[in-house]
Amino acid sequence: MRYQKLGNTDIVVSTVALGTWGLGGGSVWSDHDSTAEESSALLSACLEHGVNYIDTAPVYGTGASEELLGAALKGRRHDFVLQTKCSLNWRGEGGNFHYSRDGYTVNNDTRAEAVRRDVEDSLRRMGTDYIDSVIVHYVCKSFPVDETVGALEELIKEGKIRTYGLSNSQPQDLEEYKQSSARVSDGVSVVQEFFSILSPFHGRDYFDTAKKYNTVFQTYGVLEEGFLTSPEFMDRKFEKTDIRSRIPWVEERYKAGLRRAFEAWKPICREHGCSFAALVEAWALTQYDRMSLLVGMRRPANVEDTAKCLDTALSPDEVRFMEEVVRDIQVEVLDK
């Protein structure tokens, strides 16, 4: 495993991070509801392969993911760097409507009171007295950046969080948050954004600003919710509410392009002795020198396979070839 520091902090995290959106289950991930035992085994596999960075959020299963992690972390909390989020809540206390799902209405609220309440709720659900990193889940223009930053930095002073970051944001948002910080901390240490070989544009637009501030770029969606793991995955059927039924790769014209890509990538996989998943993860690591791979792993075998991407050293020609074969099916804007 490789490691790096989060921004300019002294928090050391593995290059591969465990994403736990899927642990939340519900209608978004309709094929499997994780158990406490499975979650504990997953964390054990992470430790075995050197993965110490865990990401979750309150809205992943409306608390379910955080609660499962809290139980799995008992007795080994200090072995992991724990990251959760703020701004999306279902308390009905204000903010902007974000979505309704599974009987809950979720609002986006970055006011100071909401940020503090989000963190306090997460601390309780996960049974911990501090959170290493808190991400503003969706940057919101309706409330002052100074107010959000002020709340986060107060929480740092109180020892309840150690650093903070942004998600679903734009480079200008990073600029604004950085300009509002530096009172208690160095501000944003990580940005968590969608990025994959099928939709690389937003990430590439962001890299220069992230590099300017020595910010870790944490990519989610690098495996396209499973569609980049194997040709067989494209044959699976999902409920209409499931995230995997609502992205472009379920459409036949995209599927045809993906099947061609898998055929073209086979020789590269054989050359490096890796899976398709590890191949596209290795591709992502070539794109930015402070990359963090946030991968939704729900089984110990997924952790072992993902770790292999760090040993897959692609040549510049292989990187160019991989991109060329999917260029005609790349999507400019993809909001999940």
Which amino acids are annotated catalytic?
A: 60
| Residue entry with tokens 């998943």 | 277
**Residue 332 has which token pair?**
């400019």
Q: Give Cβ neighbours of residue 97 (< 8 Å, ≥ 6 apart).
A: 105, 107, 108
DSSP character string of 175-215: HHHHHH--SSS--EEEEEEE-BTTB-HHHHHHHHHHHHTT-
Q: What are 217's two structure tokens?
A: 């770029």
- Asked whether the beta carbons of 239 and 30 are under 8 A apart, the reply is yes
Residue count (the chain):
336
Q: For residues 303, 133, 113 and 177, what is the CA-based torsion angle, rounded to 10 degrees?
A: -120
- Specify which residues 163 forms β-bridges with: 133
Determine the Cα–Cα distance for residues 275 and 231; give it in Å rounded to an integer.
12
DSSP structure string for 105-132: EEEE--SHHHHHHHHHHHHHHHT-S-EE
The single-letter code of the amino acid at 207 is: F
Tokens of 170: 């734009």
DSSP state of 23: G
Cβ atoms of residues 161 and 131 within 8 Å: yes
Neighbours of 251 (CB within 10 A): 11
Q: Which amino acid is located at 159 in the chain?
A: G
Is the CB of residue 86 less than 8 Å from the CB of residue 118? Answer: yes
**CA dihedral defined by 48, 85, 29, 246, rounded to 10 degrees?**
-120
